[in-house]
Amino acid sequence: MHRILIPPSAIHKNQITVTDSRALHHLVRVLRVKLGEMLECFDGAGRGYRGPITKASPAEVVMTIAQRREEPAPRVPLTLAQALIQPERFEWAIQKATELGVMRILPLVCARSVSQKGGASDQRLARWRRIAEEAATQCGRCTIPVLEAPRAFHDAVGIRDSDLTLLLTLAEPGVLLKESRRSWARGPPVR
C-alpha cells in the first residue's frame, strides 16, 4: 500500500484531496495509481487515514476515508541534540532518529563541527525536514519530529525542558551509562 504525507487542509469531511505537485507526480507518474487502489495518508501530527482512491488525474488524487487512526503520544518524548557532522552522516542520523521515534532533533554547532558558521542555510534545513518526512513515511510513523535550526553547543546545554538529560561524551571523567541508569529507577522508564 502506498503511503503519503498530506497537509491537514487536504482533509474535507470524508475525503482527502491530494494537490501537492511532488505527491501527485509520485502517485500518478511514478506509482501509476489506479481507481479503487488503497492509499494511506498521514498528516504528520499523529493521525493516519486509509481508503480507496476515487479519482486519479494529473491535477488531483482523491481518496475516500475508510479508516482513521490516531497514533498515541510517546510515554517518553525524546529529543536528540546532534552535533553537525559530515552532511551525509548527519542526514543518516536524522533518518534513523525519526525511525526510532525521536520527537525533536536539535542540530548543534560544536567546536569541531563541519559547519562553524552558525549551522545551516534555509535550503539545508528544508532538506533535513524532507528527510525526516520521508523517513516517517517509510517507517509507518504518523508524526514527524520537529527539526530546529542549528544552535551553538553552549546555548543548548542550558536547555532544561525535561526531567532527564543525558550528555554522551568521551571526555574524562565520566559516568558509564549503565551506572547512571541505576539512578533513573525511580523515574519513568527510558527505553
Per-residue confidence (pLDDT) for residue 119, from 0 to 100: 47
Mean pLDDT over each residue of the chain, to the nearest integer = 85
pLDDT per residue over 110-123, tens digit each?
887 776 454 457 88
pLDDT tier for residue 4 given thresholds of 50, 70 and 90: very high
Per-residue confidence (pLDDT) for residue 184, from 0 to 100: 60
Cell numbers standing for residue 178 = 549503565
pLDDT per residue over 36-79, tens digit each?
999 999 999 999 999 999 999 999 999 999 999 999 988 878 88
* pLDDT average, residue stretch 175-182: 70
The more confident residue out of 153 and 115 is 153
pTM: 0.81
Percent of the chain whose pLDDT exceeds 70: 81
Q: Is the pLDDT of residue 187 over 80?
A: no
Q: Is the pLDDT of residue 191 over 50?
A: no
Q: Please state, in angstroms and rounded to a whole number, the distance separating the CA atoms of residues 4 and 137.
A: 6
pLDDT tier for residue 131 given thresholds of 50, 70 and 90: very high
